[in-house]
C-alpha cells in the first residue's frame, strides 16, 4: 500500500485512535503499544495531519507539512479565548 492509499483509507475516528495511542502509549482499550507500533503510528499521525490539519495546535503538523510552534503567550491567549466562565464569585464579599 502506498502513502496515498494509506491516507485515503484513514477515517477521522481511526486518526483519533492513532493519535491517542501515540500520546499515551496505549490503545483506547488500554493495551500498550510496542515501540515499533508507536513509531509507525506517529508517522501515520504526522502524515495525516500534513494533509488534513487546517487548524494546527502547538507542536502539530499543519496541512502542507509545516510544524506549528506557538509561543507561550500565543498559547495563553488561545486558552483564555476558549475558556468559558461557569460561575464567578468574589470571596471577599462574604
Tell me: the pLDDT tens digits for 65-80? Answer: 666 666 767 767 776 7
* Other beta carbons less than 10 A from residue 17's beta carbon: 16
Pairwise CA distance, residues 61 & 64, whole Å: 8
DSSP category for residue 62:
P
**Residue 86, C-alpha cell as written in the block:** 461557569
Tell me: the pLDDT tens digits for 14-63? Answer: 999 999 999 899 999 999 999 999 999 988 888 888 887 666 665 566 66
| CA angle at 49 for the pair 29 and 20, rounded to the nearest 5° | 15
pTM over the 0.85 mark: no
Q: Contact at 8 Å (CB) between 51 and 41?
A: no
The residues facing 32 across adjacent strands are 26
Amino acid at each position: 500500500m502506498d502513502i496515498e492509499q494509506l491516507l485515503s483509507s484513514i477515517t477521522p475516528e481511526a486518526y483519533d485512535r492513532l493519535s491517542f495511542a501515540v500520546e499515551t502509549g496505549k490503545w483506547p482499550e488500554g493495551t500498550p503499544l510496542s515501540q515499533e507500533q508507536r513509531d509507525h503510528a506517529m508517522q501515520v499521525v504526522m502524515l495525516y495531519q500534513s494533509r488534513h490539519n487546517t487548524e494546527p495546535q502547538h507542536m502539530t503538523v499543519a496541512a502542507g507539512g509545516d510544524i506549528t510552534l506557538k509561543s507561550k503567550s500565543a498559547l495563553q491567549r488561545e486558552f483564555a479565548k476558549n475558556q468559558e466562565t461557569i460561575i464567578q464569585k468574589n470571596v471577599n464579599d462574604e
